[in-house]
Amino acid sequence: MTDREKAIVMAFTGKCMLTEDKFHIFHEYIEEIMGRPVFTHELADKGVSAEIKEKSKYDFIALCEEDEHESFKDMGEVLKKLENLERKIENLEEEFNLHVEDYEKLVEEVYDTERNLARLHNRTWR
């Protein structure tokens, strides 16, 4: 595995594979994918780490697909399936939110109808 490949794996998994005089390879890679300078103290920030993972995902998948080792190929397939499932969940959440909005509108309509019925009832008995 090349140092560049180690940097990709390190960026995606968070597992340290380049230390001391080779850490700069990882640092250069994350600055490349982030499109900006990245200060080392930012690596402790969960949001920055999540962004690095997200931006290195496709490089990691490509690395897994070209690697001859079966476990890497399997991991690439699992990551693709995970990505598809995440998309399906997003779609279901959107659909669910639409149904919730419809439900809320129906409940409001029922309440309005009940209030109108009560007003009519009160007028009738006066």
Could you give the 3-state DSSP secondary structure of residue 35? coil
Q: Is 36 helix (H, G, I), strand (E, B) or coil?
A: coil
Give the predicted TM-score (pTM) of the model. Answer: 0.53
CA-based nearest residue to 83, from 107, 60, 66: 60
pLDDT value of residue 61: 83
User: pLDDT value at position 33?
Assistant: 94
Q: Tens digit of pLDDT for each residue in 30-52?
A: 999 999 999 989 999 999 999 99
Is residue 108 helix, strand or coil? helix
How many angstroms separate the CA atoms of 11 and 23, rounded?
12
Residues 40, 29: contact at Cβ < 8 Å?
A: no
Domain ranges of the chain: 1-67, 73-126
The per-residue pLDDT string of the chain (126 residues; one tens digit each, 9 = 90 and over) reads 889 999 999 999 888 888 889 999 999 999 999 999 999 899 999 999 999 999 999 888 888 776 555 555 566 677 777 777 788 888 888 888 878 888 888 888 888 888 888 887 777 665
Q: What is the pLDDT of residue 98?
A: 78
Q: What is the pLDDT of residue 111?
A: 87
